[in-house]
Structure 1
Amino acid sequence: MLYTELIRLWDEAVQAVDSRDWEGALSKLTQITEPTSRTLFVSACVYIALGQLETAIKALDQTIAKDERLAVGFFQRAGAHMMAGRLEEAMTDCIWAQKHMRGNSVIDYRQLGLRYKLHTWQVMYNAAAVHCRMGLWEKASDLLATASQERGGGRAGPLEAALESVSKGEVLTPLLVPEGEVFRPRKQDVEQLQQRDFLGKAKVISSMIPNDDFGGFEPLRLQKPGYYEPKGDGSQDSRYMRLRSTYMANGPGELTIPSGGLVFVFSDGALTVSPQSSTMGREA
C-alpha cells in the first residue's frame, strides 16, 4: 500500500471521528490494507464508541502486537477488558501498562499524534477499579492511597473522590482515553497530499524590444549581431545611443533618463527606453 494512500485514508478517518461519524471512520480504516499500530488504535477507539468491545479488544491486540511498548495501548485494553468483564486480563494489562511507563510519572503522546497524556496514577486507578470488581476493597484503597501521594495538577481531586467511593463500597468506573482522542497523521504529511503546480500557468509576455516578433523560448534565441536592433518604421537612421548626462523630462509624455541609460532614437527624434543593459550604439 502506498504511504500517501495510507495517510489519506487515515486523515479522512480522523475527520470522521471528529464529526462523530463512527461508521464513516470505520469505512475508511477498513480500506487500509497495511495498518499501523496507530491506525489500529484509532479503529479500537471507534469500536469502543460503538459499544463493540470484543472487536475493540481484537484491534488493541493487533495494536500491541505491532508496538509492544505502547503503554497507552495496554491502558486502553485494560479499560476495555474491564467493561467486558475480563478482570484477570484487565489486571495483567494494568501491570504491563505500568511496566511500559518505564519509571515516568507521565508520557505525553502528542509527538506521536495523540493529544493525550498518560499518568501513572491513571494506570493505578484502573488497577484499583479491577480490585473493586474482584471484591478486594482493601487492595483498591491501598492502590489509590499510593497514587494520591503523587501530587500534581488535577491528580488529587479524582483520587480523593475514588477513595471515598471505595470506602462506600462503590465500584469505580474504568478510565479510558477520552472519546474522540485518537492518533492523527502528521500535519506535514497531510499537507503533502495536496496537488502542487510546480510549473505554474503559462503567461503571455510581450517583448519590450520594439518590433520584436520572436515567439520562442528566450534562452534559445539566436544570438546574432544586430538581432536585437529595433526597426524604426523604415527609417535608416534609427539606432541605440547612450546618454552622457541625465535627461530631464520637460513636460507630459516625456521620460527622465539617467546618465548612462540606453535609448533608441528614431529618425524623428523621439526617444524610447531600451531594455538592453549592454553597451550598444554611440553615445548621445
Structure 2
Amino acid sequence: MPSVKDELLQWNDACQLFEAKDYKQSLILLDAIADTSKIHFSMGIAFINIKKEEQAIAALSKAIACDKYMAIAYYVRGILFFRRDFFAEAIADFSDALENMRSNLVIDYTQIGMAHKLHAFEIAFNRGLCYSANGKMDAAIADFDDADRMHPSTGDKLALEEKIDQAVDLGDRAVDYVNVFEMDYSKAVFKPSEEKVKNAKRVNYLGTSKVVAGVDETDAFAGFSGTLVKSQKNLVNSGPFEGNGMGGSETLTRKKSLTDVSVSSARKEKADAARAATLTRMRIDPVPDSLARRPSAPIISSRNSSMALDPVDISKLDLGRATGGTLRSGSRGAGGTSLRSEVSESRMSDKIRVKCNYKGDTRQIMVPMDVTFKELQSKIQKKFDSSRPLRLKYKDGDAMVMMSDEEDMEIAFDIAGVRSGKSVEVWCSD
C-alpha cells in the first residue's frame, strides 16, 4: 500500500499529464489513488476531454458520493445530462448545485486547488433552459430573471441579457439554438498543494561523494592531482648523504674523508693537554670513578606502583546526599515551576482550541492536533446536542468558505495559525 507522500506525488504527476493533454495516462494514475471527491471529479473531467460522457457521469457520481456538498460536481453532471436530453435529471442537478452554493453568488475553487470560479447566475440560466425544453416557461422565465439579478456588476452582462432574450423568444425550441454555460475542461482539475508536494519530495542532504586524492599502486606516493605514478622509485640525492633520498629504508651516513679524521684527532689531543695543564696548576686530583658514577634514585613506575589510585566506582556514590536528598514528584525546579504544571503545559500544547458559533450561541471545544474532519464534526455536534452533523464554515479574509473535508480543515487551521498556539473559529449551520 503506497504511503500518503507517494500518493501525493502520484497525484501531482497525474495533474502534469492532464495539463500535457495526456488524459488516458493521467486517468491510469488517478484511478490508482481514487478515494476522494477531488480525485473522482478530476477523473470525470478527463473522461469529458476524451469524449466518454458515460464514464464521466459515473466518476462525477462517485465524487458526489464522497462529498454531497460539492456544488461543482452537480453543475458539471447537470451539463452532461443536458447534452443527452435528460432534462429532468439536469434540472435536479442544477437545483442541488444552487442549494450547495449556500446563497453565495460565486465559489472560488482556486484556494483548494482548481483554477475555476463557479457563478450562481450560470447555474440558474442552465436550469431555466432545461425548464423551457420541458415546456415550463413560467419556471424558465423565473430562473432567467434570477440569473440576470445574480450576475455581478462587473463582467459582460450584456451577453447574458442577449441569451435570455433569445431563449424567451424561442420558447421550447431554445434548447436547439442556445447553449448552456460551461467551464474550460482543459484546466478544470484539482491539484495538490504545491507546498505539500515540495515537502513530500526526497532531498539528498548528504550529497554524493567525490574523489579528491589519488594513490598509486605501490602506495608510495599520494597527491591531489589524480592518480600519479612515479617514473623512478629509487632516487638518490647528490651531496654528502648516501642512501634513498625519497624516504628509503637505508640509514643515512655521512662520508668521512682522511682530512676530516686528522683534524678531529688533533683537536682532541689539544683539548686533553689543556685539561691536564689546568688540573696540575690547581693541584686538584681527578674525581674518582666511584664518585663520578653515583647511581641515580630509582624511578617509580606509576603503572606498577602500589601508590596508583584505583578508578572511582560512580555507582557506589551516595548521590542522594550529594544533592541534598532524593527528588520528589512535587518538588520545584530552578524556575519555580512544578513538574506537574510542566506536564500539563506540554499536554495543552498538543490541543487546538476551536470556537464554535451556532444560532447565536458560542461554545468552545478542545481537539487534538491530529484530529480528523469527521471527529471535529462529531465533537461539535455533541457540543450543541444536535441530532445530525452540522455544516461548518471558516473565514478566509472577507469570504466564508465551506469546510467539507480534511484539506478544507487543514487550510482553516493554517489560516488561523493553530501551529503557533492560536485558536480557530468556525460557524455552524443545519
Q: TM-score, normalised by structure 1?
A: 0.66
- The answer to which structure, 1 or 2, has the higher relative contact order (CA under 8 A, 6+ apart) is 1
Matches of 1:70 and 1:203 in 2, distance apart? Answer: 54
Aligned-pair CA distance for 1:202: 5.1
Aligned-pair CA distance for 1:70: 1.0
Matches of 1:157 and 1:49 in 2, distance apart? Answer: 30
Aligned-pair CA distance for 1:155: 5.2
Contact 1:8 1:190 survives alignment (8 Å): yes
Helix, strand or coil for the counterpart of 1:149? helix
Aligned 1:17-36 pairs, distance under 5 A: 17-32=18-33, 34-36=34-36
Contact 1:106 1:117 survives alignment (8 Å): yes
Corresponding residue of 1:86? 86
Aligned-pair CA distance for 1:138: 4.2
Deviation per CA, 1:201-254, whole angstroms, max 9, x where unpaired?
557899xxxxxxxxxxxxxxxxxxxxxxxxxxxxxxxxxxxxxxxxxxxxxxxx
Corresponding residue of 1:105? 105
Name which of 170, 173, 177 aligns with 2:179: 173
Contact 1:37 1:64 survives alignment (8 Å): yes
Q: Quick one: which amino acid aligns to residue 203 of structure 2?
A: R
Aligned-pair CA distance for 1:84: 2.2
Deviation per CA, 1:165-211, whole angstroms, max 9, x where unpaired?
213413232333311221111111222343201234557899xxxxx
Q: Does 1:153 align with 2:154?
A: yes
Contact 1:53 1:84 survives alignment (8 Å): no
Corresponding residue of 2:203? 196
Q: Quick one: which amino acid aligns to residue 8 of structure 2?
A: I
Corresponding residue of 2:190? 183
Matches of 1:88 and 1:13 in 2, distance apart? Answer: 34
Q: Quick one: which amino acid aligns to residue 197 of structure 1?
A: N
Matches of 1:86 and 1:43 in 2, distance apart? Answer: 22
Identity, in percent, stands at: 26
Corresponding residue of 1:12? 13
Matches of 1:155 and 1:143 in 2, distance apart? Answer: 19
Structure 2: 5+ residue runs without aligned partners? 214-430
Q: Quick one: which amino acid aligns to residue 101 of structure 2?
A: M
Contact 2:129 2:167 survives alignment (8 Å): no
Corresponding residue of 1:218? none
Corresponding residue of 2:64? 64
Corresponding residue of 1:114? 114
Aligned-pair CA distance for 1:48: 1.3
Deviation per CA, 1:59-115, whole angstroms, max 9, x where unpaired?
111101111111111111111111122211111111111111111111111111011
Matches of 2:162 and 2:83 in 1, distance apart? Answer: 21
Helix, strand or coil for the counterpart of 1:6? helix
Q: Quick one: which amino acid aligns to residue 101 of structure 1?
A: M
Contact 1:144 1:159 survives alignment (8 Å): no
Indicate the RMSD between aligned Cα atoms, in angstroms: 2.2
Contact 1:144 1:162 survives alignment (8 Å): no
Matches of 1:125 and 1:165 in 2, distance apart? Answer: 12
Bigger mean CA offset, 133-142 vs 176-185: 133-142
Structure 1: 5+ residue runs without aligned partners? 207-284
Bigger mean CA offset, 157-166 vs 110-119: 157-166
Q: Does 1:162 align with 2:163?
A: yes
Corresponding residue of 2:144? 144
Helix, strand or coil for the counterpart of 2:205? coil
Matches of 1:10 and 1:133 in 2, distance apart? Answer: 40
Aligned-pair CA distance for 1:159: 1.8
Aligned 1:177-256 pairs, distance under 5 A: 177-180=183-186, 181-201=188-208
Helix, strand or coil for the counterpart of 1:68? coil
Contact 2:36 2:66 survives alignment (8 Å): yes
Helix, strand or coil for the counterpart of 2:118? strand
Q: Quick one: which amino acid aligns to residue 39 of structure 2?
A: T
Matches of 1:175 and 1:6 in 2, distance apart? Answer: 34
State the number of aligned residues.
205
Aligned-pair CA distance for 1:154: 1.9
Corresponding residue of 1:259? none
Deviating above 6 A after TM superposition, structure 1's stretches of 4 or more consecutive aligned residues are: 203-206
Helix, strand or coil for the counterpart of 1:107? strand
